[in-house]
């Protein structure tokens, strides 16, 4: 069996893995190896040909390929190495060993000083949300359809209903329309938009595509290829009102009904998972409960902006490099980040206190939409940080920075009032 | 015109078992099925259990065949390289009323000569199955109830039959059967006529329609729908045995059991319906599964589901498993009433059918070179790292993992396509190697499987179907 | 005429109310920043969009080159430009931001490659 040694091994060459690898190099790791199952770096951004990336980070509007190429160029200049066409099967969290398979080298063991998990996420399916009906052809997750259309040159259908108003769903509504398909409607269970407002404007409103908030698909029809779906409004408990169901003919249904951090490897490596994010619990260094293993990007929690992914991944890469070099900050204590009023989760879940004070971004999502609110971080009665926000929405991640020098042992609370 | 000795109609478990049994003799065998793949209808969407026959109606053909079949599976699955596990079943009594029923169930098992059924205390049952309803009062243990991979099983029978000379006409519908002077003469199909001496009707759901072609439809078949949930391998609440409910007068109830791949299976419903093709699930059906199974396993988490499906089992009216031959129609064999026990009894039915044909004057000469064994596709994920390394060295496509959830490699998919009776559709690939059967349900590998199928079959992507024609996955090139 | 416009300059999505008529704006309210002001004005008079798509690659029928308009084009022109994109085939290699179609449909805007492709 083939063995490779490196300082930092990164699992996944999507935006998270690339940013982590670049940061690891910049922070002194001599050998950084990115292991990627695809035949090229870029991850899901390879199929995200639409614009909207980089607005906060680069202050310009980039397409997915342009966004990741900023990182691959840097990675190349810094000498980041790739192991492409390689699927990781196992992570030995204590030994810092990553086992992967590759057609050229066979079973390959990567021995690293530290490991960064950046596997991203996968899409929830029609099956996982239990929509009754038949099981015909023509049902796709929005991301699969996106891959087929944008990367494989394959069109999936002509008359489309999309379930879920997440960003991928809306972007696919525009994409399919521009490619000549008829998007009959976008159906959303919640009574608010799941994705970004700008996507509603540019992807749905521009093309007159109806958005049915507070509705869901109750049944799928068609024995061979889908022939239509029943769409019904839901009551306050999100239960469909069956008698109000309407039949909507279509030959394709796209599901954009949520993303799940892909943590099969993480679980296998006995790393603790946060039940709310479905990702590994991390501290501000993006370090998991196994000290040599770091994690970043959508594998930790599902982000809506890649710009945020890059930022937190750089943190992971930086500290993974320091860990591998034996220059990790010594812990003096820790504070748990506790969700307060209208906060669903916080990432990182924990702040480690050390002699190195730094500004840490706490990323979080609210439970329900609100306007003119104050975001606040407090430690007991002491307010560590606060800021006003014109609007908060579960579909859009918020963040607030705290200085770790202000944090005391125990817990800090993030709340939205 | 094609010519053969025996035409078997239906490539489900029974049809393929009959065909395989026939290839032990020097006879020509053609199996015809309207579907594009072997595996039938009922044979591929059931609870995948190999029964013991403990609860069959005593002294019936069904009980005789099921009881006889169960012990055959150890050797058969070894010979044919089919995943099979003797996990055992338990029948917990939750209420006093159910507890009082146990002796009668055990006595019935005894009358069926299933002597290894044991009483267990509630405590023993909870030790075996910690997730069982803690109110359990006691129950029965049926050690030889087993689980199998029903897809691989039927494929293996069919592949082995092919290795021994049988031919398959798939995607071909039987449209008529001709007899002359009280003797079978030929079968008309959508792909031409086949001259034959014998016809064995193993058409399951459609066996009444086939029998009608020769004027022997003395019964009708109604589809009985069974809806199931499949749960994620990581689901929080699991069972190790087949957990069976105690049947009531109205319903046989819902069971929960592991599948051969380590998922949990929960169901089925039992709903008679006029359509023989409608395999949809319904909100009511799925809710009834949730309600019923919680009596047995209160913490079952049906939200951790990776799919739900329905199977249609043939429900004969009037009921009962029937084997029929007629003096006025020489060469015609009719099987009807093959229902949920059909998967189990397929192997004994194969032997029974051939023996009956011999009794009735068939002159089948035994072969000396019957190939007993069949080797399946080597599953990469089940190998040691050393063996995996070796496989990749032999075929680098073993190093390309296409289905991340079930760790299925490109090499396995390519083999599934190029084997005898190889996969032609996305579902056929799934049923052979498991790609797309995991928790992302083809979200990741679906686009790649379409690409591999198109490449290996030398056709455009838009020709690739989910299963039968009409179920094309995609519409064509985006930029042609 | 009064129009409610959701600003798409940044992810914040301010709801801006624009009043005016005949391609002239008389009042703008609700913008959170200066960029929102000019956005709302353009959006009211002649909305523009960045268009992204893919073009065929000579000799590679299972791959596509992602492309974009260099700058936003008139929203009314989206489908015309799509037709032009659909009629185009590029020959590799291509470098990121190479011109794939110059002055597409007389918009004065080029369609450029979003990535390198060899």
Q: B461 vs A154: CB contact, 8 Å cut-off?
A: yes
pLDDT tens column, B389-405: 999 999 999 999 999 99
pLDDT tens column, B253-262: 899 999 999 9
Interface residue of B452, B462, B479, B480 to substitute, partner C, most C CBs within 10 Å:
B479
Q: B451 vs C86: CB contact, 8 Å cut-off?
A: no
The percentage of chain A sitting over the pLDDT mark of 70, rounded to a whole number, equals 100
Task: List chain A residues with CB under 8 Å of C82.
Answer: 178-179
CA angle A183/A187/A192 to nearest 5° reads 130
CB proximity under 8 Å: A 328-387 to B: none
Q: What was the pLDDT predicted at A112?
A: 98
Task: List chain B residues with CB under 8 Å of A85.
Answer: 399-400
The predicted model scores a pTM of 0.94
3-state secondary structure at position B269: coil
Of A5, A86, A6, the residue nearest A40 (C-alpha): A86
Close Cβ partners of A110 (under 8 Å, ≥ 6 residues apart): A3, A4, A5, A6, A9, A33, A35, A83, A97, A98, A99, A100
**Over 90: is that where the pLDDT of B366 sits?**
yes
pLDDT tens column, B201-245: 999 999 999 999 999 999 999 999 999 999 999 999 999 999 999
Of B333, B336, B334, the residue nearest B314 (C-alpha): B336
Task: List chain B residues with CB under 8 Å of A103.
Answer: 392, 396-400
Token representation of residue B412: 């396995």
Q: Does A405 touch chain B (CB under 8 A)?
A: no
Q: A267 vs B279: CB contact, 8 Å cut-off?
A: no
Close Cβ partners of B154 (under 8 Å, ≥ 6 residues apart): B11, B12, B13, B16, B38, B39, B40, B43, B44
C interface with A, Cβ–Cβ below 8 Å: 6-8, 10-14, 32, 49-54, 56, 61-64, 66-68, 75, 78-79, 82, 96, 114-116
A interface with C, Cβ–Cβ below 8 Å: 49-51, 55-56, 61, 63-66, 69, 150-153, 178-179, 196-198, 200-202, 206, 304-305, 390-391, 396
Domains plus CATH for chain C? Answer: 2-46 (no CATH), 52-113 (3.10.530.10)
pLDDT tens column, B20-70: 999 999 999 999 999 999 998 899 888 999 999 999 999 999 999 999 999
Reported as type and span, the H/E element at residue B412 is helix B410-418
**Over 90: is that where the pLDDT of A55 sits?**
no
Phi, psi values for residue B132, rounded to 5° = -70, 155
Helices A64-78, A15-26: inter-axial angle, 10-degree rounding: 30
How sure is the predictor about B180, in pLDDT bands with cuts at 50, 70 and 90? very high
Q: Does A258 touch chain B (CB under 8 A)?
A: no
How sure is the predictor about C11, in pLDDT bands with cuts at 50, 70 and 90? low
Cross-chain CB nearest to A144 (options B282, B386, B443): B443
B51 in catalytic set = yes
**Over 90: is that where the pLDDT of C23 sits?**
no
Q: Distance (Å, rounded) from C-alpha A162 to C-alpha A178?
A: 15
Cross-chain CB nearest to B280 (options A133, A137, A147): A133
**Over 90: is that where the pLDDT of B88 sits?**
yes
Q: What was the pLDDT predicted at B248?
A: 81
How sure is the predictor about B384, in pLDDT bands with cuts at 50, 70 and 90? very high
pLDDT tens column, A242-268: 999 999 999 999 999 999 999 999 999
How sure is the predictor about A277, in pLDDT bands with cuts at 50, 70 and 90? very high
Task: List chain C residues with CB under 8 Å of A69.
Answer: 96, 115-116
Size of interface A-C (CB pairs under 8 A): 80
Contact (CB, 8 A) for A288 and A265: no
pLDDT tens column, A23-35: 999 999 999 999 9
What distances in angstroms separate CA A202 from CA A35, B212, B446, one per listed residue? 36, 60, 29
pLDDT tens column, A135-180: 999 999 999 999 999 999 999 999 999 999 999 999 999 999 999 9
CB proximity under 8 Å: A 198-237 to B: 218-221, 223-225
Q: Distance (Å, rounded) from C-alpha C96 to C-alpha C108?
A: 20
How sure is the predictor about B356, in pLDDT bands with cuts at 50, 70 and 90? very high
Indicate the DSSP class of residue B44: G
B interface with C, Cβ–Cβ below 8 Å: 451, 477-479
pLDDT tens column, B110-145: 999 999 999 999 999 999 999 999 999 999 999 999
Kind of pairing between the strands at A293-295 and A211-213: unpaired
Q: Does B276 touch chain A (CB under 8 A)?
A: no
pLDDT tens column, B442-458: 888 999 999 999 999 99
Q: C8 vs A202: CB contact, 8 Å cut-off?
A: yes
Task: List chain B residues with CB under 8 Å of A143.
Answer: 443
Write down the number of H helices and E strands in chain B. 13, 25
Q: What was the pLDDT predicted at A69?
A: 97
**Over 80: is that where the pLDDT of B250 sits?**
no
Task: List chain A residues with CB under 8 Å of C115.
Answer: 65-66, 69
Residue burial B182-209, b: 16+ Cβ < 10 Å; e: rest? eebebbebeeebbebbbbbbbbbbbbbe
List of chains touching A (3+ CB pairs within 8 A): B, C
Q: A391 vs C50: CB contact, 8 Å cut-off?
A: no
Q: Catalytic residue among B51, B241, B418, B441, which? A: B51
Q: C54 vs B451: CB contact, 8 Å cut-off?
A: no
Q: For all residues of chain A together, what is the average pLDDT? A: 95
Task: List chain A residues with CB under 8 Å of C62.
Answer: 152-153
Q: What was the pLDDT predicted at A309?
A: 96
Task: List chain A residues with CB under 8 Å of B392.
Answer: 101-103, 106-107
Interface residue of A107, A157, A175, A230 to substitute, partner B, most B CBs within 10 Å:
A107
User: How much helix, strand and coil, in percent to the nearest 5, is found in chain B?
Assistant: 35, 25, 40
pLDDT tens column, B294-317: 999 999 999 999 999 999 999 999
What DSSP line would sit under B357-408, residue for residue? Answer: HHHTT--PPBPS-----------GGGS-HHHHHHHHHH-GGGG-EEETTTTE
Token pair 């190790």 is at which residue? B240
Size of interface A-B (CB pairs under 8 A): 147
Cross-chain CB nearest to A198 (options C13, C61, C96): C13
Q: What was the pLDDT predicted at B230?
A: 97
Top pLDDT among A68 and A197 is at A68
Strand ranges for C1-118 from DSSP E:
2-6, 15-21, 24-29, 48-49, 52-57, 60-69, 73-74, 89-90, 99-101, 111-113
Q: What was the pLDDT predicted at A313?
A: 98
Residue of B nearest to A242 (CA): B283
Q: How large is the ipTM?
A: 0.93
Cross-chain CB nearest to A122 (options B444, B446, B474): B444
Interface residue of C56, C57, C63, C89 to substitute, partner B, most B CBs within 10 Å:
C56
List of chains touching C (3+ CB pairs within 8 A): A, B
Q: B404 vs A133: CB contact, 8 Å cut-off?
A: no
Cross-chain CB nearest to C96 (options A55, A69, A200): A69
């Amino acid at each position: 069996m083939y063995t490779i040694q490196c300082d930092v091994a990164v699992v996944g060459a999507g935006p998270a893995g690339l940013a982590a690898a670049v940061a690891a190099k910049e922070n002194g790791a001599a050998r950084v190896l990115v292991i990627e199952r695809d035949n090229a770096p870029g991850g899901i951004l390879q199929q995200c040909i639409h614009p909207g990336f980089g607005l906060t980070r680069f202050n310009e509007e980039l397409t997915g390929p342009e966004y990741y190429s900023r990182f691959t160029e840097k990675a190349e200049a810094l000498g980041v190495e790739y192991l492409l066409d390689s699927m990781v099967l196992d992570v030995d969290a204590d030994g810092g060993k990553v086992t992967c398979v590759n057609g050229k080298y066979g079973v390959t063991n990567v021995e690293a000083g530290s490991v960064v998990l950046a596997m991203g996420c996968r899409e929830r399916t029609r099956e996982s949300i239990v929509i009754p009906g038949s099981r015909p052809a023509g049902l796709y997750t929005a991301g699969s359809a996106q891959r087929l259309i944008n990367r494989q040159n394959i069109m999936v259908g002509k008359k489309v209903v999309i379930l879920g108003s997440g960003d991928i769903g809306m972007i696919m509504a525009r994409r399919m329309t521009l490619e000549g398909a008829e998007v009959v409607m976008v159906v959303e269970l919640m009574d608010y938009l799941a994705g970004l407002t700008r996507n509603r404007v540019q992807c749905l409103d521009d093309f007159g595509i109806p958005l049915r908030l507070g509705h869901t698909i109750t049944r799928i029809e068609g024995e061979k290829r889908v022939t239509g779906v029943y769409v019904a409004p839901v009551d306050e408990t999100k239960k469909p009102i069956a008698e109000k169901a309407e039949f909507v003919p279509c030959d394709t249904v796209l599901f954009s009904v949520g993303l799940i951090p892909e943590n099969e490897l993480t679980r296998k490596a006995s790393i603790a998972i946060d039940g709310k994010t479905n990702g590994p619990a991390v501290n501000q260094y993006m370090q998991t409960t196994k000290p040599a293993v770091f994690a970043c990007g959508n594998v930790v929690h599902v982000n809506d902006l890649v710009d945020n992914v890059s930022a937190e991944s750089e943190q992971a890469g930086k500290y993974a490099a320091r860990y591998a070099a034996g220059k990790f900050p010594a812990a003096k204590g820790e504070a748990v980040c506790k969700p307060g009023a209208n906060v669903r989760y916080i990432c990182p879940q924990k702040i480690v206190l050390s002699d190195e004070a730094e500004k840490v971004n706490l990323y979080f999502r609210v439970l329900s939409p609100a306007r003119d609110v104050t975001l606040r971080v407090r430690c007991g009665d002491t307010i560590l940080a606060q800021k006003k926000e014109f609007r908060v929405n579960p579909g859009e991640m918020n963040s607030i920075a705290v200085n770790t020098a202000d944090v005391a042992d125990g817990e800090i609370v993030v709340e939205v009032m | 015109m094609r010519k053969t000795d025996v035409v078997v109609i239906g490539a489900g478990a029974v049809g393929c078992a009959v065909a395989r049994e026939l290839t032990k003799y020097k006879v020509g065998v053609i199996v015809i099925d309207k579907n594009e793949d072997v595996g039938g209808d009922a044979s591929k969407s059931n609870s995948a259990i190999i029964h013991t026959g403990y609860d069959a109606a005593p002294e019936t053909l069904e009980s005789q065949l099921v009881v006889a079949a169960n012990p055959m599976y150890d050797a058969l699955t070894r010979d044919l390289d089919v995943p099979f596990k003797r996990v055992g079943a338990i029948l917990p009594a939750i209420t006093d009323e159910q507890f009082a029923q146990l002796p009668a169930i055990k006595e019935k098992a005894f009358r069926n000569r299933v002597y290894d059924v044991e009483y267990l205390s509630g405590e023993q049952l909870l030790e075996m199955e910690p997730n069982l309803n803690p109110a359990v009062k006691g129950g029965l243990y049926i050690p030889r109830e087993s689980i199998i991979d029903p897809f691989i099983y039927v494929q293996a029978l069919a592949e082995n039959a092919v290795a021994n000379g049988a031919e398959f006409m798939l995607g071909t519908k039987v449209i008529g059967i001709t007899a002359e002077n009280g003797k079978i003469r030929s079968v008309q199909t959508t792909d031409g006529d086949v001259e034959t001496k014998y016809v064995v009707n193993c058409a399951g759901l459609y066996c009444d329609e086939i029998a009608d072609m020769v004027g022997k439809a003395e019964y009708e078949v109604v589809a009985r729908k069974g809806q199931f949930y499949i749960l994620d391998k990581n689901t929080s609440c699991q069972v190790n045995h087949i957990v069976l409910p105690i049947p009531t007068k109205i319903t046989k109830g819902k069971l929960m059991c592991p599948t051969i791949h380590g998922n949990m299976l929960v169901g089925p419903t039992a709903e008679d319906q006029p359509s023989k093709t409608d395999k949809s699930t319904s909100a009511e059906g799925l809710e009834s599964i949730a309600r019923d199974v919680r009596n047995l396993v209160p913490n079952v988490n049906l939200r951790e589901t990776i799919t739900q499906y329905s199977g249609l089992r043939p429900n004969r009216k009037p009921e009962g498993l029937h084997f029929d031959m007629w003096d006025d129609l020489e060469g015609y064999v009719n099987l009807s009433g093959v229902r949920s026990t059909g998967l189990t009894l397929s192997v004994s039915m194969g032997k029974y059918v051939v023996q009956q044909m011999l009794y009735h004057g068939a002159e089948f000469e035994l072969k000396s070179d019957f190939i007993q064994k069949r080797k399946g596709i080597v599953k990469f994920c089940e190998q040691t790292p050393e063996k995996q390394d070796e496989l990749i060295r032999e075929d680098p496509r073993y190093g390309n993992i296409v289905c991340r959830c079930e760790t299925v490699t490109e090499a396995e998919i390519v083999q599934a396509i190029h084997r005898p009776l190889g996969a032609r559709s996305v579902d056929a690939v799934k049923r052979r190697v498991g790609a797309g059967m995991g928790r992302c349900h083809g979200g990741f590998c679906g686009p790649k499987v379409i690409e591999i199928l198109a490449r290996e079959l030398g056709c455009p992507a838009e020709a690739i179907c989910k299963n039968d024609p009409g179920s094309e996955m995609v519409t064509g090139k985006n930029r042609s | 005429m009064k129009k409610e416009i959701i600003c798409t300059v940044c992810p914040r999505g301010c709801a801006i109310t624009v009043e005016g008529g005949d391609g002239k704006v008389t009042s703008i309210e609700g913008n959170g920043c200066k960029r929102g002001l000019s956005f709302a004005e353009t959006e009211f008079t002649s909305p523009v969009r960045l268009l992204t798509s893919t073009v065929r690659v000579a000799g590679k029928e299972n791959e596509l080159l992602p492309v974009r308009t260099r700058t936003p084009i008139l929203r009314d022109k989206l489908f015309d430009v799509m037709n032009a994109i659909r009629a185009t085939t590029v020959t590799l290699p291509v470098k990121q931001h190479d011109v794939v179609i110059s002055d597409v449909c007389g918009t004065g805007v080029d369609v450029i490659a979003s990535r390198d492709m060899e």
